[in-house]
A = this chain, B = another copy of it.
C-alpha cells in the first residue's frame, strides 16, 4: 500500500508507529467492551460499541472471496432472501460465495433464480436442510423460525471442512453498506475468539419482562444471532458440536424450550465460554423489534450498516422510526435485480454457467440489423422466480389437467374470473418488474378468491427488453405444470365452467397418453361486449351465437386462425372428431405435459401459437375437437406491448425473417415432411392480430 519511490526507511518507521497506534486503540476498545459485558449498568446497546470510535478495520483485499451462509425454507423466506441478496449485491465490491441451506421448495426456487440471474462473481452452493433436521429436531422450540432457525447451530459441520470463515445471516436482514466492511471485522478477532456478534438490542435476556419470564442464560443483554461472523475452523477445533449440545441439554433440564431458537443456545454457550465471542459494533445488526433499544445505537452512529427486521410483525413493527428503515427495505424489495448483473472491475472471476456463450452471441449481433431488437430479445435470459407465492402441488392424478397461461400487469383483473371458471390447478407466468411483483403480491392478498387458491402457481419472469417474450413465458409456465396434461390457454379467455371436469373425463375416455398421441381442441369464441353473461352450457352458447351476442373467435378479422375447428360440425357433434391441420391454425389445445415447447424465437406478437401447432402436427399429434368444450375471449384494450409494434413497418419484415428461420429448423428436424408447411410460412399475416 505504500507508494513507491520514497525513502524506504522513513516509510517503514512511520508504518510501525501507525501499527502501534492502531494496536493501542483496538486494545482499549476491547477493554471497554469487556467492561460492558460484565454488566456495567450504564452501558446500553450502542453505547459501548458504536461504530464511530477507533479507526476503520482494514478492508479485505480488492478481489478476496467472501463467504455467506443463509438458512432458507419455503416460499415466503425465499422471497425474503432475494431482497437480502439484492441489498448485499448493491453495495458489494467483492466476489461472493453464498452457502444456502434450503428445503426442497426454497432450493427449487433459488436454484432457478440464481441460474437465470447470472450475476458475475457470485457462486451459490446448496445444502439440504432436510438432512440436517435430525440434528436439531430434538430441541423443543417456540420461535416462529421453527426448526430452520436452529440449523445455524450445525453450520460448522454442515459447511465444507475447508471453509474457515463465514458470515451467517438471517433472511430478514437488509444491508445498507458494503459487506466487505463486515468481513474486515474478522481481523479484530483475538486468537481464541470464534464468534462475532452484536449485542441484543432489547432487555429480553435481563429477564423479568413479565411474571415468570425466565429467559435462557446470557451475558448481560446477550447477543443477537441475525448477523454472525463464524470462525468455523476454530469452532470445529474447540469441539463446538459437543459444546452447544451439552449446554442445550443441560438448560433444557430446567427450561421447557428455546424461545428464540438458536439465539438462546448461542447465548447460553457464550455465557459459559465468554472467550469465544468478539462483540461487533451495534450498527452491524440494528434490531427492529417492538421494544427495541436500537435507537441508542443508530441515533449516535453516522452510518447504519445492517437492518434486522427481527419482529414477527416484520415491516408492521411499531417503531417511531420505522418509516426510515422501511424505506431501505423497500428500496431493495422493488429494486430491479437485472441492474445487479454488473461485473467487478479488475476481479477476474469464472463467469456464471452459460454467460460466456451468451456474451459471444450478443456480441455477434449487428446493431444495424433492422431486426436487432428481436434478436437481442430472443437471447435475453430473464430472471425467473418460480412459485412466487405459497403453492401446493396437486396430488398425483392420472388424468389431471393444469391450465397454462401467461400475463403481465394489465391483465391481473382476469385472475379472479379465471379462478371462478377453472377450479383445477393452474400454472401462470407473469411478466413483471420487481416493483410490479410487489404490487401483484398485494393484489393477491387483497382478494379472498385468489388468496384461497393454493393450487395456482405464479411464476414471475422479470421484464427485460422492449419486446414481449410471449413464448418464453409460455414455456416457463408449461415447464412448471405438475399434472400429466396441460390446457394451453391465453389469459383473456374464460373457459366453460364445466371444462375442467369435462377435460379430465375426456382424457380418460379417449385413453390419451399410453394409447393415443393427441391434442384435444377446445373451440374458441369471443364476445365483443364488455358486459356479458357467460353461458352455462353449449345450448346457451349456441343461442348467444345465434343472436349475435357471441362470435367464433376472430370471426371478423382472422377466420383462418380457427376455421379448421369446423364450427358447423361442432354445433351438431356428439363425439370428439378429428380435424386436419391447415395454414394459420392456432386452436387452444389440451396436450400431455411433455408436449413440444413453444418456439422462443417468436417475441413480440404474431405467429407464436401458430408455430406451436405446426410443430404438434409435424410430430403427428392427432387434432381432436371436443364436442362439449368451449372457451370465450373477453374484450380488452390492446396492450401497450402490442400497440407499440403494430404500427412499426419493420415489424412485419422481421416476423417474416423469423418465420423463414423457423421453417429452416423445421426442415432440419422433419426433413421433407416440413415441405407441407412452406406455403403457410410464406404468406403474409394480417397485421391487426394479437
Residues in B whose Cβ lies below 8 Å from that of A435: 336, 433, 435
Q: Does A18 contact B (CB under 8 A)?
A: yes
Q: Does A323 contact B (CB under 8 A)?
A: yes
In the complex, what's the smallest C-beta–C-beta distance from A502 to chain B, in angstroms?
27
In the complex, what's the smallest C-beta–C-beta distance from A345 to chain B, in angstroms?
5
Partner of A330, one of B18, B52, B54, B339: B339
The stretch of A133-141, A230-238, A380-388, A633-641 in contact with B is A633-641
Q: Does A210 contact B (CB under 8 A)?
A: no
Interface residues of A in 1-59 (CB under 8 A from B): 1, 3, 5-6, 10, 14, 17-18, 20-21, 24-25, 28-29, 32, 52-54, 59
Q: Does A581 contact B (CB under 8 A)?
A: no
CB closest residue in chain B, given A442: B466
Q: How far is the CA of A266 from the CA of B125 in the complex (A)?
A: 54
Q: How far is the CA of A18 from the CA of B10 in the complex (A)?
A: 14
Partner of A637, one of B53, B336, B636: B636
In the complex, what's the smallest C-beta–C-beta distance from A195 to chain B, in angstroms?
24
The stretch of A221-229, A271-279, A525-533, A590-598 in contact with B is A525-533
Q: Does A331 contact B (CB under 8 A)?
A: yes
B331/A335 in contact, CB under 8 A: yes
Contacts A339-B331, A435-B435, A637-B636 given; does A346 touch B300 at CB 8 Å = yes
Q: Does A62 contact B (CB under 8 A)?
A: yes
> A53-95 toward B: CB 8 Å interface, digit per residue (1/0)?
1100001001000000000000000000000000000000100
Residues in B whose Cβ lies below 8 Å from that of A447: 647
CB closest residue in chain B, given A338: B327
Q: Does A644 contact B (CB under 8 A)?
A: yes
Q: Does A246 contact B (CB under 8 A)?
A: no
Contacts A93-B303, A336-B334, A528-B531 given; does A6 touch B21 at CB 8 Å = no
Partner of A298, one of B54, B345, B556: B345
Listed A/B pairs (20) with beta-carbon separation below 8 Å: A3-B25, A3-B53, A3-B54, A5-B32, A6-B28, A299-B346, A321-B343, A324-B342, A324-B345, A327-B338, A330-B339, A331-B335, A409-B640, A413-B637, A413-B640, A413-B643, A433-B435, A446-B644, A447-B647, A528-B529
Interface residues, chain A, with chain B CB atoms under 8 Å away:
1, 3, 5-6, 10, 14, 17-18, 20-21, 24-25, 28-29, 32, 52-54, 59, 62, 93, 298-303, 321, 323-324, 327-328, 330-331, 334-336, 338-343, 345-346, 409-410, 412-414, 416, 433, 435, 439, 442-443, 446-447, 466, 528-531, 556, 634-640, 643-644, 647
- Other A-B contacts than A410-B410, A413-B638, A636-B637, 14 sampled, CB-CB below 8 A, are A1-B53, A3-B28, A6-B28, A10-B24, A18-B18, A298-B345, A327-B341, A336-B435, A413-B639, A414-B637, A416-B643, A447-B647, A528-B531, A637-B637
